[in-house]
Amino acid sequence: MQCLALEEDGLQRQPSSHQDDSSFGPSIPSHPLGIKPLGNKYFAGGTDARKSIGSLQALPDEMFMQLLEYVDGRTLRLLGYTCKYLFACCTADDVWKTGFLQSELGNKSSFEWRGSWRATVLSLSREQSARVDCSNVFSDVLHRPFVCSHIVLSQYIKNIPAANEICRLQDLSYEEFAGKWSKKPFILTKCIRDWPVTKSWTTESLVSQYGGVVFRAEAVDWTLGSYMQYMRNNQDESPLYLFDRKFAEKMSLKVGKVEGTAYWKPDCFGPDLFELLGAERPAHRWLIIGPERSGSTFHKDPNATSAWNAVIVGAKYWIMFPPTASVPGVFVSKDSSEVTSPLSIAEWLLEFHAEARKLPECREGICKAGEILHVPSGWWHLVVNLEDGIALTENFVPQSQLGSVLSFLKDKADQVSGFEKEITNPYGLFLQRLREERPGLLEEGLRQVAEKKRRWDAVVGDEDIPEEQPQKKSTGFSFGFGFGDEEEDEIP
């Protein structure tokens, strides 16, 4: 996309209106250009701006907006000046985001962020950005992203049903974790309070120390300075999320219980069996930075690993389901290799949150700064930042989940991820390391695999199901095994 350095002058400017839009409750403000949901057209008198686009009326808005992603910046800008409807379409920021990423700017790691993708591509200041009154533009396609980027998160995190609350504990010993907690989510409130980063890291301190360091944020590699400009001033429905696995090297951090350390692995999670893979282990630790509304849509962590996620700054809302649950709005292919869910966190919250929280398997909680959350192997989770935040996360393989990881590496080899491409047989490699260094554990892991398979065969084969799991014959779709969530296991 080409950048224009023209000023947007001579255009009608309209101050943003902040009255409430009654159709979305008191919390969503009116669209700054006055764009309305499609349904409002049928109650509005006066003109309909769509009538001015001539033969383009034949195209549905979805298709037209897709087409605009192929138009260069100059044309997009000029097309937007032809009528109000096209102004509304051609200033939609998602189209400019695509343009940014495809342009030269998309390859730059440092640039000046100007509050929107369009203003950044066109180098426009706030005053130079035109505001045309589009109050006779009625379109869900144009209005919906605005609603999604203005959802009020407090609505979703209040009134968590008591039965859903993720347990909050001060700290755990390894024995407690291994004996009782390794298959349940929980939040530890005091476990990381001595980590030096909990005292020294703020968004400001990181920018001043590492502002010039380039980090990965989804599809882009930006300096922390540019990312922070973006993070502090954007209107994206799904803000770009900084997720970097080389952070320790890039920031020259010491990790572990050594002099001058930044943080260490909490003792309670015990040995991480992927450490047997040494440098050949898959990616396992990340620095995560993002603004309010950023986060992770529903997923399970890779390779059936467990994880901990420590909030250093900010607060995160977590909603989780055990491995075998059917999560509303999340559709999984038969071999679970593909997960289809609404595109954004906001969309999921709007459409499915109320239904999801009614399910008995649902677990929810808020992990605040200085706290750490445990994600058990195979658990579904959606996470959203309630404030600008910094977090550290690591994936690991605890002894009690060795069977799940071995089954995953063996039976879902096509879904294994994070290993360097030279490692062509991760299962074989892990098996070999266990055999060489921890033969007793390997035996225990294989015993876990066999037990899982036995229980699975008992359910699908409709064989004699032991007394303690009689209800499972009738659970139909959910494939639970009747031991409560402690024993929620996946299909081998």
Ligand X SMILES: O=C(O)CCC(=O)C(=O)O
Residue ranges that bind Fe ion, judged by CB under 5 A: 301
Nearer of residues 89 and 307 to ligand X, judged by Cβ: 307
Q: Are 14 and 132 in contact (CB under 8 A)?
A: yes
CB of 329 to ligand X, least distance (A): 17
Nearer of residues 87 and 201 to ligand X, judged by Cβ: 201
CB of 48 to ligand X, least distance (A): 41
288 binds, among Fe ion, ligand X, none (CB under 5 to 8 A by kind): ligand X
455 binds, among ligand X, Fe ion, none (CB under 5 to 8 A by kind): none
376 binds, among Fe ion, ligand X, none (CB under 5 to 8 A by kind): none
d(CA 135, CA 98): 26
In the block, tokens 């390794």 appear at: 182
Nearer of residues 381 and 472 to ligand X, judged by Cβ: 381
Give the CA count within 13 Å in the CB-facing half-sphere of 436: 8
Cα end-to-end distance, the chain, whole Å:
49
377 binds, among ligand X, Fe ion, none (CB under 5 to 8 A by kind): none
CB of 81 to Fe ion, least distance (A): 44
CB of 380 to ligand X, least distance (A): 10
d(CA 243, CA 122): 27
Give the CA count within 13 Å in the CB-facing half-sphere of 184: 22
Nearer of residues 69 and 292 to ligand X, judged by Cβ: 292
Nearer of residues 192 and 288 to ligand X, judged by Cβ: 288
CB of 483 to ligand X, least distance (A): 26
Q: Are 164 and 363 in contact (CB under 8 A)?
A: yes
CB of 299 to ligand X, least distance (A): 7
CB of 245 to ligand X, least distance (A): 10
Enter the tokens of residue 166: 């993720």
Please state whether beta strands 295-299 and 167-169 pair in parallel, antiparallel, or not at all (unpaired): unpaired
Binding site for ligand X (CB under 6 A): 286, 288, 295-296, 301, 307, 309, 316, 381, 383, 391, 393
CB of 390 to ligand X, least distance (A): 10
295 binds, among Fe ion, ligand X, none (CB under 5 to 8 A by kind): ligand X
SS3 state of residue 392 = strand
Nearer of residues 222 and 243 to ligand X, judged by Cβ: 243
Nearer of residues 64 and 247 to ligand X, judged by Cβ: 247
Nearer of residues 33 and 327 to ligand X, judged by Cβ: 327
d(CA 464, CA 458): 7
198 binds, among Fe ion, ligand X, none (CB under 5 to 8 A by kind): none
Nearest one of 431, 2, 394, 391 to 198, comparing CA atoms = 391
Looking at this protein, which amino acid is placed at residue 225?
G
Q: 126 CB contacts (<8 Å, ≥6 apart)?
A: 114, 115, 119
309 binds, among ligand X, Fe ion, none (CB under 5 to 8 A by kind): ligand X
223 binds, among Fe ion, ligand X, none (CB under 5 to 8 A by kind): none
> Hey, how many other C-beta atoms are within 10 angstroms of the C-beta on 6?
13
393 binds, among Fe ion, ligand X, none (CB under 5 to 8 A by kind): ligand X
> Hey, how many other C-beta atoms are within 10 angstroms of the C-beta on 147?
20
Q: 400 CB contacts (<8 Å, ≥6 apart)?
A: 178, 182, 183, 448
CB of 286 to ligand X, least distance (A): 6
Write 252-256 long-range contacts (CB < 8 A, 24+).
255/285
Strand segments, DSSP code E, in 160-305 are: 167-169, 186-188, 214-217, 220-223, 242-244, 285-290, 295-299
Nearer of residues 93 and 301 to Fe ion, judged by Cβ: 301
